[in-house]
Amino acid sequence: MQPHPSLDTSAHWAFGQEIEVLPRIFDDDITLAVMQRRLDSALALAVRAQLNGSRSLDWHWRGAPGQAMKEDLERRLPAPEAGAALVEDVSHIAEAMAYLFSTEAIGIRLRTLEGAMCPRFHVDNLAVRLVTTYAGPASEWLPEHAVNRAGLGAPHPDKPDIVADPDAIRQLAVGDLALLKGCGWIGNEERGLVHRSPQPAAGERRLLLALDPG
């Protein structure tokens, strides 16, 4: 059995149940900071309502979090009459992201997925991204000791496998707020967190939120 991520003394990650864990992403040795949480009943019901319809969701926003953002999201939801808790949660996360990174503009995407968006392990070229999965399998990631970075990038027959230890693959939980440090973070150019989108089961849909500061 894998040790709990927060119990590994050599960890380049930080897990906790309070929002104070998220600023750990500014630590030089941390490439993943996760606030563990469970969706409350109202939020879970709002999420389920959006997934029960036939229409998919692919909402984008770039700008300040606020009333205009909330109204735009509500208009785009498949079931807006049941979406208040989801709109409020996205708003709170966006406001926290803007505060944490001292920016007025946030890039946000909320979308339903029936397949793996990025099925191959990879690193992001941006500085940092926050992801949370509201439904379906959450993102998978690799501790540094289990990564062969020579395998990253476009697939090629001569490249080695990215995963040096398949037993070390770890997975976030539904509801977790995860900050992933990428290669665009100054001083982290060779240490971006290696992660991937999982493949949902047949007939299963994911609801994924991703936020980029600035």
| pTM given for the model | 0.91
Q: What percent of the chain has pLDDT over 70?
A: 93
The pLDDT mean for the chain works out to 92
Backbone phi, psi, residue 108, to 5°: -130, 140
Given pLDDT bands bounded at 50, 70 and 90, which one contains residue 1?
Answer: very low
Q: Which domains does the chain have, with CATH numbers?
A: 11-213 (2.60.120)
C-alpha torsion sign, points 109, 186, 152, 1: negative
pLDDT digits (tens, 9 = 90+) for 160-206: 899 999 999 999 999 999 999 999 999 999 999 999 988 877 778 89
Note every long-range contact of 7-13, with CB atoms under 8 Å and residues 24 or more positions apart, other chains counting: 8/143, 10/145, 11/143, 12/143, 12/144, 12/191, 13/143
pLDDT digits (tens, 9 = 90+) for 44-78: 999 999 999 778 999 999 999 999 999 999 999 99
